[in-house]
Structure 1
Amino acid sequence: MKRKNISLVFFIALTFISIVAFSQSKSNFRSIPEIVKNGDTIKVVYDANNTPLKNQKIVSAVMYAYQHYQWYASDISLKKTGNEWNVSVIVPKDCGLLAFKFKADTLIDNNHDQGYFLMMRDQKRAGLMAKGAYAGWGLSRSPKYGMDIPDYIKFEGISDSATYHWLNQEITYNQDAKSILVYPYAAAIAAAFKTDARPRLQRVLAYLKRADATESDLLNARKIDLRLLQDKAAADSIEQVLMQKFPKGSLARLAAFKAIPSGSDLNVIVMGYKKFITYFPEEGTDKSFNEDNRINYAVIKQNIIVLSSFLDKNYIELDRYLNSLTFSMVNFLYYKIVDIPLKKKEVDSKVLLKVSDKLIKRLEYLRTNQPQEYSYLSPKEWVEMINTSLAKQLVTDHMQLLNHVGRYKEALSYGEKAQPILGYQNAGFNNEFSVSLSKLGYKERLKTLLTKSVYENQASADMLALLKAAYFKEKGSDKGFEAYLTSLSNKTGSQQMKDEILKEQLNIPMVDFAMQDLNGKTVKLSDLKGKTVVFDFWATWCVPCKASFPGMKLAVEKYAKDSDVVFYFIDTEERGDAYKKEVAEYIKANNYPFNVLFDNKIANAKATGEVFNRVCQTFKISGIPQKIVVDKNGNARFRSVGFKGSATQLADEISTMVNITKEIK
């Protein structure tokens, strides 16, 4: 046993020497002076030759400082001198380790996932490393311990023995780190020493269970017993101590959390959440314990807000918690209480606009007030993340709501901020941007938007109508418009689409059926022999199904004069007796030139879907919208699943499938 431990110590000593040397002296990265103390002003020198940033005109960096056992990122501007980039930085006085990530546009150099690191010497304690130096060096390269720099370096990590060594060094020279690092330290002991770990872990437990132990210490002791030693009896005895010393502490919180009612009565559930959050507020709680036991206050608040808005049709709870909403909460809530009801038209647009505005303003506040939990992102990275989230997840809906009430200038201002991020790759955003530009009379900007959106195949039916109207005004007629539209398309993109579609080609007999249309006429599969047929399975309650209809209308109109191509829109998975009337009114109100068929009722069930169920079994699919293209012999050749948001893209996709299918003998 002694020989084994000596070998381990010898290995760690070699690791220490080689890693420090490697971290402090790289051919393309160095500091002046080479030996750095916390609080020093140093010069960081970076040579981009032989790196991904070679020959880049502008190079910047993100500097990560390990302070108080947490990572803090800052943006660094570099100046080029000769062939090297350099910058002078002041090392924070409480910093133990610096790490650097060099950037040029979208290119990143992190030393081939090894990182660029500088370990700090202690300014006040001669001959010693700075507080956090050992822990930062070990944990930054041990991702499985969850205390590395998120998204900085990506590799399996150093050995558990090395991680143990660095944490042991940290605790040895910085006793106040014990309680902070105790669990990753214990986990490293268990992983490094395996069956020989128990005596060492018992010494850790003895410290954690001392007379003046804090609640956090005892919770960590319980966690070690449960997870690392798997000693439930010992863990139970610690629980008894915890309940005696902290009767309203974390264990009581956990018991109350588990007692929150579940079931179908939403009022009871909401009251349970409110009661929990009142008696056990988040402030001062043990975050690690909460995470381990899935006590997520953000989710609790989200549930209160979402369920209350659904039950009461008001947003009182949103106002209550608005100023405590986190970045992720805002995105989730926007989807739940703005996006879904907007698409389903469940809530008045003016009401939704007020909700949308509050959530947008909350994100904008967070953008200028970066929360500490995101300290590992530099200010520029944080702003970029917020702006990207706004553009990709919130702005399109917000613009739609603003346009709906005539606030076109405000909608345009949001569009102008999001457009550099989205480009012309989002049909929904392009449509709302076009509405704002059109209403404000920006003709040239509108034309640019329309033509580039068509090129990217991300235009709506309304945008095509605007383009056609502009063409008519310029030419005096719409003659040649289709050729003009074709000239705007991306030929390379069209070929890529065709190549991808061909990869998914099928040859499966379509299921036989007999269904009634809107007029009560029965249509059978055998009636369609000799024709290329497009079947679109949809339902009145299916938001993406109906969202795809403008694109399907474009496809239907394209083949309106081709008697060999027919489209059938099969309404399925409906309940009750009123759906046929609802379908007829919806099709008429939206002026859709669709042939509608009603799926048959399932035997011994209340819903329709007899044909679609057999289609699902045959083609191993589920869910709607589903579009199936069938050849003249009754064999299914292609399927289109879901809806990606672009009317023109869907129309082109269906058209490509139809044209290929028509050529099949």
Structure 2
Amino acid sequence: MRTYFLCLLLAAGCYFHVSAQSTGRLQIDKQHPAPNQEITLRYNSDIAVPAGKELHARVGFYNQLKYPRARDITMKLSGNAYTATISVPEGAVVMGVAIGMDTIIDANKGKGFLFDVYSNDKAVANIPGIRSFIYTYGDEVFGIKPDPKAALSWVNLQRQAYPATKSDYDNIYYTCLVKNPGKEHRKILDAEIKRLLNSDKEADFKKAVDIYGYQKNRKKVDSLFQLLLKRFPTGLAARGQAAGEIFIIKTAAEMQQAYEQFCKQFPPSLYHEEPIQYDYIRIGIAQRYAREKDSLHAAAFADSVQTPYLKPTTYNNVAQELFRAGLLETAKVLFQKAFSGYDEYLSAKKNDENAEKALKTYVESYCNYAIILYEQKNYEQALKYITIAYQHLNNAVALNYYYAKILKANGKPADALHIMDGIMRTGNADSTMVAAFKTLYLEQHGAQADFNKYMATIQEEVVKKHREDIVKQMIDRPAKSFTLTDLDGKKVSLADLKNKVVVLDFWATWCGPCKKSLPAMAMTQKKYSNDPGVKFLFIHTWEQSNTPVQDAKSYIDSQQYDFEVLMDLKDPVTKKNKVVESYGVTSIPAKFIIDPKGIIRFQLTGFSGDTSEAVQELSTMIDLAREEGKRN
């Protein structure tokens, strides 16, 4: 490796040949793939693709320190290998690939299939840095798992090969040092913290704060952040805090007044590299005026937004608020302004990084505009705009519901019934939609038609598909053993729960999404309350106060939850919450369903917000885990 570094440095910008251009099972036909060049992927595998399924290559191109947009390309069988062709875009540095069907089936054992991009047969700049980013944080889209050791090697290589970029990769470098503990790394971090805290630059001071954040030293982060605000009273952190205070003001007029004072304290001309903060405030004021039914000021602040990709989104959001307030004519004007902004992203800027967000809001705008026209009984024009939205997004339940209503209003009940039938088969229809579907069904098939029998058939299909989808999420990983203390001081060990399905829920009282998911957990637990083969454990972790046990007990009691809460408290020496760390959790809420043999079968992170859907999903996972535990 030492010789490798010497060769690299002597090359004066010439990069080395990377063996990753061939990764065993997956290869590309170009030794040095370059921008604007078409390359062929070749996947050598004896995998059997079931009838009706297709093998896909999920491909994305990294060009900076953020995740790329990925697209799935169908692979065709050619001889004894599957192939697909793709063009390398301008600016690409590293290409990431994963192989899959409905889900990823081959991600090179969590390392990912990565290929470097060249220019004039020389590897483009910053490949080591991009790879360090990938292995520091992982990339679920390509099935890549974090690899701290590999990440540290790559970031060290970046810092040696391209010293001018060191500061760009500082946060990755510090994260890697924290994740690769040792005396030498601790020494480096201490020296860096001292240097950064003595700097007269806010960005450097903030990096020191970030290091303590990577170490999960919340107390130090909080104290240093307050010092940061004092040392840099007109800095970005101070500006961000002041901006946040504007959003908690109750009335739009008071928000506007506070914003004008904010601009005097933090003149926009001094922050030309960070202008978006001002637009976010303008958007907030515009929406607040809209909620107060002041369409004149709402429209004026919407017009004042300067960031190009935010303008159509702003018009859409403010128009929606005016729509809800009953100010339909002004809402229509703003929706029309939004349309012109989207058109640019659908044509000239279709490859822009914000194009996908723009398209989503574009669909919302056309749908909402169609609803206004529908309520004004302008059914023909409503159909025109809802059809445009449907052509871009035909799997959104709410959009499809309005599409069906508008179709029926235009004298097309058969088409409306077809759309409603599709909604029912998603399993996400609410009671209003089911009632509308029943009306349409009986109108088309006659009052004597057996609607309940037909719905039962659909429900059977929904349950079957839902189960099949969840089966694809099943994993096979031994659960880490642990012993924790509950709120009453009693010790509970996972080892004592063998032969049961165990549901772990890592949560915290300060975590909003965690608390929002608890009603669904309570409903699921109640569903299995008479089943001795299922056990729920709620593990409180990552505490941020000095009284975590009391905090957890007070919250559980206040909500009247009948939960068995265990406390995964910080180790007094390592300052780490051992159990949550051992399960590899990076964010909460995090749920694990463990089968009776002690194997993790499912892992869930976050909460979608739909309680009934969550109960159904958890129930299916519990039942599947039980079945797996019975297998030999």
Does the C-alpha gap of structure 1 residues 114 and 370 become closer, same or farther in structure 2, counting only changes over 3 Å? farther
Q: How does 1:425-440 map to 2 (within 5 A)?
A: 426=397, 429-440=399-410
Q: Is the 8 A contact 1:56 1:104 kept in 2?
A: no
Whether 2:320 is the aligned partner of 1:338: answer yes
Q: Is the 8 A contact 1:305 1:318 kept in 2?
A: yes
Residue type at the aligned position of 1:177: T
Deviation at 1:190, TM superposition (A): 3.4
Q: Per-residue CA shift, 1:324-363, capped at 9, x if unaligned?
A: 37579939x8567626x656xx414333333444445545
Does the C-alpha gap of structure 1 residues 184 and 317 become closer, same or farther in structure 2, counting only changes over 3 Å? farther
The match for 2:373 is: 402
Q: Is the 8 A contact 2:366 2:388 kept in 1?
A: no
Q: Which runs of 5+ in 1 are unaligned?
A: 1-5, 10-19, 376-381, 472-479, 501-615, 621-640, 646-665
Residue type at the aligned position of 1:26: T
Q: Identify the match of residue 353 of structure 1 among 326, 332, 342.
A: 332
Whether 2:401 is the aligned partner of 1:411: answer no
Whether 2:284 is the aligned partner of 1:303: answer yes
CA–CA separation in structure 2 for the residues paired with 1:205 and 1:401: 57
Q: How does 1:20-419 map to 2 (within 5 A)?
A: 23-34=20-31, 36=32, 43-47=39-43, 49-51=45-47, 61-69=57-65, 72-73=68-69, 81-86=78-83, 95-102=92-99, 110-111=107-108, 113-119=110-116, 130-143=124-137, 149=139, 151-153=141-143, 155=145, 157-159=146-148, 161-201=149-189, 204=192, 216-217=203-204, 219-220=206-207, 223-224=210-211, 230=220, 243=232, 248-250=234-236, 253-254=239-240, 256-257=242-243, 260=246, 262-276=248-262, 279-281=266-268, 299-311=280-292, 313-314=294-295, 315-321=298-304, 324=307, 330=313, 338=320, 342=323, 346-359=325-338, 362-363=341-342, 365-368=344-347, 374=353, 383=356, 396-419=367-390
Deviation at 1:108, TM superposition (A): 7.0
Residue type at the aligned position of 1:311: E
The match for 1:521 is: none
CA–CA separation in structure 2 for the residues paired with 1:93 and 1:642: 41
Deviation at 1:216, TM superposition (A): 3.9
Q: Which has the higher relative contact order, 1 or 2, with Cα contacts under 8 A spaced 6 or more apart?
A: 1
Secondary structure of the structure 2 residue equivalent to 1:483? coil
Q: Is the 8 A contact 2:63 2:92 kept in 1?
A: yes
The match for 2:447 is: 481
Q: Per-residue CA shift, 1:38-86, capped at 9, x if unaligned?
A: 6695744322634586778866645433335555557668676434344
Q: Whose Rg is larger?
A: 1
Residue type at the aligned position of 1:352: A
Does the C-alpha gap of structure 1 residues 235 and 272 become closer, same or farther in structure 2, counting only changes over 3 Å? closer
Residue type at the aligned position of 2:326: V
Secondary structure of the structure 1 residue equivalent to 2:62? strand
The match for 2:459 is: 493
Secondary structure of the structure 2 residue equivalent to 1:301? helix
Q: Is the 8 A contact 2:95 2:115 kept in 1?
A: yes
Q: How does 1:512-661 map to 2 (within 5 A)?
A: none
Residue type at the aligned position of 1:441: G
Does the C-alpha gap of structure 1 residues 28 and 225 become closer, same or farther in structure 2, counting only changes over 3 Å? closer
Secondary structure of the structure 1 residue equivalent to 2:24? coil
CA–CA separation in structure 1 for the residues paired with 2:110 and 2:282: 38
Secondary structure of the structure 1 residue equivalent to 2:268? coil
Q: Is the 8 A contact 1:274 1:304 kept in 2?
A: no
Could you tell me the TM-score, scaled by structure 1's length? 0.52
CA–CA separation in structure 2 for the residues paired with 1:424 and 1:93: 32
**For this pair of structures, how many residues does the alignment match?**
449
Secondary structure of the structure 1 residue equivalent to 2:262? helix
Deviation at 1:444, TM superposition (A): 4.3
Q: Is the 8 A contact 1:327 1:366 kept in 2?
A: no
Q: Is the 8 A contact 1:66 1:72 kept in 2?
A: yes
Q: Is the 8 A contact 1:52 1:108 kept in 2?
A: no
Is the deviation greater in 171-180 or in 436-445? 436-445
Deviation at 1:435, TM superposition (A): 4.0
Secondary structure of the structure 2 residue equivalent to 1:324? coil
Does the C-alpha gap of structure 1 residues 112 and 481 become closer, same or farther in structure 2, counting only changes over 3 Å? farther
CA–CA separation in structure 2 for the residues paired with 1:454 and 1:120: 46
Residue type at the aligned position of 1:400: I
Secondary structure of the structure 1 residue equivalent to 2:23? coil
Q: Is the 8 A contact 1:101 1:152 kept in 2?
A: yes
Deviation at 1:271, TM superposition (A): 2.1
Secondary structure of the structure 2 residue equivalent to 1:151? helix
Secondary structure of the structure 1 residue equivalent to 2:449? helix
Output the aligned Cα RMSD.
5.4
Q: Is the 8 A contact 1:43 1:86 kept in 2?
A: no
Q: Per-residue CA shift, 1:288-342, capped at 9, x if unaligned?
A: xx9xxxx9556423321121223352122453245637579939x8567626x65
CA–CA separation in structure 1 for the residues paired with 2:77 and 2:155: 38
CA–CA separation in structure 2 for the residues paired with 1:484 and 1:364: 46
Deviation at 1:139, TM superposition (A): 1.9
Deviation at 1:413, TM superposition (A): 3.4
Deviation at 1:134, TM superposition (A): 1.5
Q: Which runs of 5+ in 2 are unaligned?
A: 6-16, 467-557, 563-608, 614-632
CA–CA separation in structure 1 for the residues paired with 2:98 and 2:157: 26
